[in-house]
Structure 1
Amino acid sequence: MRSLLSVLRGSALALSALLCLPSWAADRSVVDASGATVTVPDKPQRPLALSELDLDALLALKLTPVGTVKGRGQDTAPRYLGPAAARVPLVGGFGAPVLDRVIALQPDLILAGGIPDPELLAQLKRIAPTVITYRLGEDWKAAFERIGRLVNRAPQHREFMTGYQKRVEEVRTRLGKQASATVSVVRWNPQGPAYMLKDSFASLVLADLQLKRPASQLQPGVAHSQPLSLEALDRIDGDWLFIGTLSPTGQATEALNTARQSPAFRQLRAVQQQRMVGVDGSLWTSLGGPLAALTLLGDVDRAMAGR
């Protein structure tokens, strides 16, 4: 009798342990950004976001991930996402998840952003279904639409994009005379200023508002220019200058504060007309996502509307 009771107790414990494991319900095939077909949960409950865009998109879709990585150049999740992101456990730095932490969170789906490392991807796939969510150079709208499909939240995606377009039209109307202004977007690095190229995240949101970029900033590309010398500061000028650093402290911020005291900086048209706006460089000059786009619209609205 005692032996039978022991067996029953052991079976009950084993069953309890199995019930504690994540239920993947892997009953849907999707094609990710790499072109791979992946079997994923129909309705993921424990997604893991391994890029800023993945985290941004999941929160916009009203789905909180079980974990994420630090924002670019930051020790926390991206600052612009606020308390909702700050409560999400971190599994490592940008592009460098710690596998033990990933395993501990028991994700049922891993959104791997644009991770190019095949060895890391192979390790992640052993933990949970893993999808590449965007291609290098792809705009945030295409990536957001794909993420909505991958996590089976297409209605939430459509609802968000409807609200985004409404906000674009609202801000465009509020700009008034400033709707024809040229807008310069600059990330200040320790080596000097770099302007955002034509196809970068911030440039695309400004294009939605039909705002123009300075002629010197119209080169194709999704990133930023090479750092400029102080002698070439005229290339960052415009009717408006939105300027930021990846971190609010550190060498880049110190370099910007020093440059602001120089005669060349003070001679910029945007500075003289008090149309230089300090912004969060980790939002304006990074990859960006749907919530970042909304925040950027708000920054433009507050700075330029009614001026």
Structure 2
Amino acid sequence: MKITLILLLLCSLWPAAVNAQSPTRAITDPTGRSVTLPAEPRRVVSLAPGITEMIFALEREEILLGTTQFSNHPPAAKQIPRIGSYVQPDLERIVALRPDLVLATRDGNPRRVIERLEALNIPVFAIDPRNLAEIKASLSALGTVLNAEAQAAALVADMEARLARLRRLTAQIEHRPLVFFQVDAAPMVSVGEETFLHELIILAGGRNAAAGGPAYPRFGWEQILTLQPEVTIITSMAGGQSPEELRRAWEQWPQLNAVQNGRVHVVDADLFDRPTHRLLDGLEILARLIQPQIMAPAPAAAEPER
């Protein structure tokens, strides 16, 4: 314990010494907090897999010294030292890396850890991406903080172009099928209106079977049989089961419309669980599953006549 306290004390003095010699700037983060941080951050720690993805997308990974347990995209992120999990970051590991900036999220990272870091003179910049508009705002904010404005602008422009294309395709759809989006299996959990996944379902041309309730409502099979969803989407991390096990749980109820029509799909959780620019990949997959007639893959080029 004594060694730990000494380590924390010595490391807490390091960022203060650096900041005293390096230019700083005051900036308001997307959560409304005013933060004084280095004008040129050089030693960054990420407290969420989504933030890590954004740092790589902004081409600033060379300054990333530490990240959380499940940061696995892109593959190079797996080589970054771990500082604990998203919900339980290890304060000692973070401080030992001597960061001049920590990037956090309002939803998920413990407030007590943020407060301890700030008490140790380590600036914490937080984002709060709860929907697609806020994801774009978070990318722009991180681009400003990490001096990657051009990269951020390009990512945001790509998101906007893809959203515009999808809106054009779904503007004339005649039927919006009822979609049950499963994010956990034991208990069965879906997504309500106060989630970005609800936004994706609507944009993809569906209706959310769990709309009108809490953000993450629980369901029993009797309720699902009453709802009769036409399409079921299951994230691959639901309950820690394999895709085959997740599908079999639904296929034991052949009276369900989604089962009868072969519309029970398991999708990559990483494309749907993380509020990053990659949600557009997930959204386009979702649109193909919900509205296959308008989102079918481009046909192969015809062979030349002989």
Q: Shorter-chain-normalised TM-score: which range?
A: 0.7 to 0.9
Contact 1:112/1:130, CA 8 A, preserved across alignment: yes
Contact 1:168/1:297, CA 8 A, preserved across alignment: no
Deviation at 1:259, TM superposition (A): 2.2
Deviations along 1:119-160, one digit per CA (max 9) or x if unpaired, are 322322226211222277894334334333333433322211
Measured in 1, the distance between the counterparts of 2:286 and 2:31 equals 34
Residue 217 (structure 1) aligns with: 210
- Report whether the alignment pairs 1:294 with 2:280: yes
SS of alignment partner, residue 92 of structure 1: coil
Deviation at 1:176, TM superposition (A): 9.6
Q: Return the match for 2:92 from 95, 100, 103.
A: 100
Deviations along 1:175-226, one digit per CA (max 9) or x if unpaired, are 798684334322232122x2211231222234444x2314x432266x321x
Residue 180 (structure 2) aligns with: 184
Measured in 2, the distance between the counterparts of 1:206 and 1:156 equals 28
Residue 203 (structure 1) aligns with: 198
Residue 270 (structure 1) aligns with: 258
Residue 54 (structure 1) aligns with: 51
Measured in 1, the distance between the counterparts of 2:80 and 2:239 equals 22
Greater relative contact order (CA < 8 Å, ≥ 6 in sequence): 1
Q: Give the share of equivalent positions with the same residue, in percent.
A: 21
Measured in 1, the distance between the counterparts of 2:243 and 2:174 equals 30
The residue type equivalent to 1:113 in the other structure is: T
Deviation at 1:102, TM superposition (A): 1.4
- Shift in CA distance, 68/235, structure 1 to aligned 2, threshold 3 Å: farther
Unaligned 5+ segments in structure 1 are 1-17, 71-75
How many residues are aligned here? 271
Unaligned 5+ segments in structure 2 are 1-13, 298-306
Deviations along 1:37-57, one digit per CA (max 9) or x if unpaired, are 211122323321102332232
The residue type equivalent to 1:249 in the other structure is: G
Residue 132 (structure 1) aligns with: 126
- Shift in CA distance, 143/268, structure 1 to aligned 2, threshold 3 Å: farther
Contact 2:236/2:269, CA 8 A, preserved across alignment: yes
> Aligned-pair RMSD on alpha carbons?
3.5
Contact 2:230/2:257, CA 8 A, preserved across alignment: yes
Q: Return the match for 2:249 from 243, 246, 259.
A: 259
Measured in 1, the distance between the counterparts of 2:149 and 2:226 equals 41
Residue 112 (structure 2) aligns with: 119
Residue 73 (structure 1) aligns with: none
